[in-house]
Structure 1
Amino acid sequence: MQSTNLIDGRLPIFSFPSSLTFYADDQSSHKQILTLYNPYDFPLKFQVLCTSPKKFVVVDPEGTIRPHYCIDIVIRHNNITQSNYGVTEKFRIQVYEHGQCQILGKKDIPATLLLSKPVTSVSSSTDSEQFEWLSKQSVPKAHKRQYAMNEAQERSNARPNVIVILAAVLCIMALMLPTQGDPEGHLPIYFHLSMHQKLIAAYTLGLVTMVIFRT
Structure 2
Amino acid sequence: MHQQSRQPDLVEGRLPVFVFPTELVFYADEQASHKQVLTLYNPYEFALKFKVLCTAPNKYAVVDATGAVKPQCCVDIVIRHRDVRACHYGVIDKFRLQVSEQSQRKALGRKEVMATLLPSAAQEQPQPRPQEEERRMKEQLSDSVFFEQTAFQTESRAASGGPSLLTVLLGLVCMAALMLPTLGEQESTVPVYLHLSVNKKLVAAYVLGLLTMVILRT
Counterpart pick for 1:75 among 79, 85, 90: 79
Hey, what's the Cα distance between the residues in 2 that align with 1:4 and 1:79? 43
* 3-state SS of paired residue (1:42): coil
Counterpart pick for 1:24 among 24, 28, 51: 28
1:1-215 to structure 2, matched below 5 A, reads 1=4, 3-9=6-12, 10-118=14-122
User: 1:119: Cα distance to partner?
Assistant: 7.1
What is the TM-score when the length of structure 2 is the normalising length? 0.53
* Structure whose residues are more often helix by fraction: 2
- CA deviation digits over 1:35-77, x for unaligned, max 9? 0000000000000000000000000001010000000000000
* 3-state SS of paired residue (1:118): helix
Bigger Rg over Cα: 2
Match of 2:137 in 1: none
User: 1:23: Cα distance to partner?
Assistant: 0.3
User: 1:11: Cα distance to partner?
Assistant: 0.5
- Identity across the alignment (%): 52
Hey, what's the Cα distance between the residues in 2 that align with 1:84 and 1:76? 15
- CA deviation digits over 1:86-136, x for unaligned, max 9? 101000000000121011000000000001012799xxxxxxxxxxxxxxx
* 3-state SS of paired residue (1:32): strand
Hey, what's the Cα distance between the residues in 2 that align with 1:4 and 1:88? 36
Hey, what's the Cα distance between the residues in 1 that align with 2:7 and 2:56? 31
* 3-state SS of paired residue (2:16): coil
Hey, what's the Cα distance between the residues in 1 that align with 2:25 and 2:7? 34
* Matched letter for residue 109 of structure 2: G
* 3-state SS of paired residue (1:83): helix
Structure 1 residue ranges (4+ consecutive) displaced by more than 2 angstroms after TM superposition? 2-7, 118-121
